[in-house]
Amino acid sequence: MAAATSFGTACILRRAAQAFAISHSHIFNTNATFSFQRKLSSQILSVSTSSASGVSQAVQASNGEVDVLVKGVGERNVTKEVKHILEMARRASLKRETLHTDFLTPPVLKESMLVLEKLADVKAISQGGYPQAERCRISVGHPEELTSDPDVISALSIKGNFQFEPCSHGDFLGSILGTGIVREKLGDIILQGEQGAQIIVVPELVEFLMSTLVKVRNVPVTCTKIPLISLDYEPPRTKSFKTIEASLRVDALASAGFKISRSKLVNMISNGDVRVNWNPVTTKGTTLKSGDIISVSGKGRLKIGEINSTKKGKFAVELIRYL
């Protein structure tokens, strides 16, 4: 009996160690600079030459050219991630291999795809499991090599009896991350009401989560792998309304959108509980624009819709609350 228990413990520890290594693999990646080819019509060229063996070689782009490519990307942390993905595209083009990112936030995904579209000899595919997915992985490679969608995402169904203890998106996220994996290895979480949820993950962590995720809050759960075609996704329900504000500051619009006092909202900003476009807000004076997404811990999300100026110099703002 003791031997069996020891063996079982060893298996669990080994799986945990493997999951940790997979989940934190991005920490050990080096940001080496590689070469890639670009369109000849671009002002920031990489000149392609051929060796005697006919193997195409690319002249390495300078850091200044990379800066030109990412010019216009707003947030500093988004720019940093886009540059990292650009380096990955260089390597994929030069080595004729296919490389994959972790799951990306919508701002990083959008900006990365815009940059990658400017590169010749690089094909980029984004996948999140279903058409409306917010968090996706990008695969990059030479067009001749990347001819189909790579198998880089998997889906799990988390089932339990949530009839008497409904769990939120944050509850599922907290329980999943509590197993030891990092957020970058996890895609979208699709809530299924009383039945539980469906999640998108990297394939390497499927078996680990199936064996270690046994509870969400106080509800016992079971995890099973499901095909992507079985994902049961419905467009989110929303409610739109308008507010008249003297400014477009985040404390003003979030206070109106979530029906909480501005002083409480300011405290939440100080505690790091407020995000704009998935990035933490550091000051209550942050100015918002149409299309921005505000997330408040425990309150949900809302989107800034159409903004118009009033005759009295104020702003009529459409707020779209996700229910």
The answer to whether residues 209 and 156 touch, using CB atoms and an 8 Å cutoff, is yes
Per residue in 98-134, pLDDT (tens digit) is 999 999 999 899 889 988 988 888 899 999 999 889 9
Q: With cut-offs at 50, 70 and 90, classify the pLDDT of residue 63.
A: low
CA distance 93 to 36: 5
Mean pLDDT, the chain, whole residue set: 81
Answer whether residue 20 shows pLDDT above 70.
no
Angle between helices 76-95 and 106-116 (to 10 degrees): 40
Domain 238-322: CATH superfamily is RNA-binding S4 domain (3.10.290.10)
- DSSP character string of 242-277: EEEES--BHHHHHHHHHT--HHHHHHHHHTT-EEET
User: What is the reported pLDDT for 193?
Assistant: 87
Distance, C-alpha 235 to centroid of its chain: 18
Among 2-11, 27-36, 45-54, 136-145, name the one with the lowest average pLDDT.
Answer: 45-54
Separation between Cα atoms, residue 268 and residue 263, nearest integer Å: 9
- Fold topology of 154-230: Alpha-Beta Plaits (3.30.70)
Give the model's confidence band at 5: pLDDT under 50 very low, under 70 low, under 90 confident, else very high.
very low
For the chain, domain boundaries = 73-141, 154-230, 238-322
278, 233 contact by CB (below 8 A): no
Give the model's pLDDT for residue 54.
34
DSSP state of 287: B
pLDDT at 51 over 50: no
Is 238-322 the same fold as 73-141? no
- Tokens describing residue 128: 């999140």
Tokens of 64: 């200044």
Q: For the domain 73-141, what is the CATH code? A: 3.30.1370.160
The pLDDT value given to residue 7:
43
pLDDT category of residue 14 using cuts at 50, 70 and 90: low
| pLDDT grade for 38, boundaries at 50, 70 and 90 | very low
pLDDT value, residue 58: 35
108 burial level (CB within 10 Å; 0-12, 13-18, 19+): buried
**What pLDDT digit, counting tens, does each position of 184-222 carry?**
999 999 999 889 999 999 999 999 999 999 999 999 999
Whether the Cβ atoms of residue 299 and residue 285 lie closer than 8 Å to each other: no
